[in-house]
Structure formats: structure tokens, C-alpha cells
């Protein structure tokens, strides 16, 4: 299984960290603003198989450019 990390703009107008899991291929994405997907490195996956969002946010900080 692969995991992908990105930030998505929520319905409330807040950028939120999200992860998608797929067994193969690309994740199915809905039509909402998001940053580019990046593969989650093994160092950002906990022993329980869950993504470590704190590490992911540190490794890939949100950068939003106005305009």
C-alpha cells in the first residue's frame, strides 16, 4: 500500500493536511483545491501503519501563494 500526502482546502476555507491510501495506481480525488501529492516516506509512517501528520507537516510545510 502506498500513501500520498497533500493539503486540501476544506469547505470552511481552511487548508488541512490529508493522506490518501492506495493499493495501486493513483488515488481517486474529488474536485477541490489541493497542493501537489507527494509520496509519504517510510519515516513518516508510524508502527501502527498510520501517517505521522506532525512529521509530514514539518517535512512538507504549507506554502500558499496569493494571486
What are the pLDDT digits (tens) for 25-37?
778 788 899 999 9
Q: Residues near 59 by Cβ (< 8 Å), separated by ≥ 6?
A: 41, 44
Query: Could you tell me if residue 42 is inside a domain?
Result: yes
Query: Could you tell me if residue 64 is inside a domain?
Result: no
Sort residue 20 into left (φ over 0), alpha (ψ -120 to 50) or beta: beta
Query: Could you tell me if residue 65 is inside a domain?
Result: no
Q: Specify the long-range contacts of residues 62-67, CB closer than 8 Å, at least 24 apart.
A: 62/7, 62/15, 62/17, 62/35, 64/15
d(CA 20, CA 6): 9
Model confidence, pTM: 0.86
How many domains in the chain?
1
Question: Could you read off the pLDDT of 38-58 as tens digits, one per residue?
Answer: 999 999 999 999 999 999 999
Query: Could you tell me if residue 34 is inside a domain?
Result: yes
Amino acid at each position: 500500500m502506498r500513501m500520498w500526502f497533500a493539503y486540501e482546502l476544506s469547505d470552511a476555507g481552511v487548508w488541512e493536511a490529508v493522506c490518501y491510501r492506495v493499493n495501486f495506481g493513483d488515488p481517486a480525488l474529488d474536485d477541490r483545491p489541493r497542493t501537489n501529492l507527494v509520496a509519504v516516506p517510510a519515516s513518516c509512517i508510524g508502527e501502527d501503519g498510520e501517517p505521522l501528520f506532525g512529521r509530514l507537516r514539518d517535512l512538507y510545510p504549507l506554502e500558499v501563494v496569493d494571486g
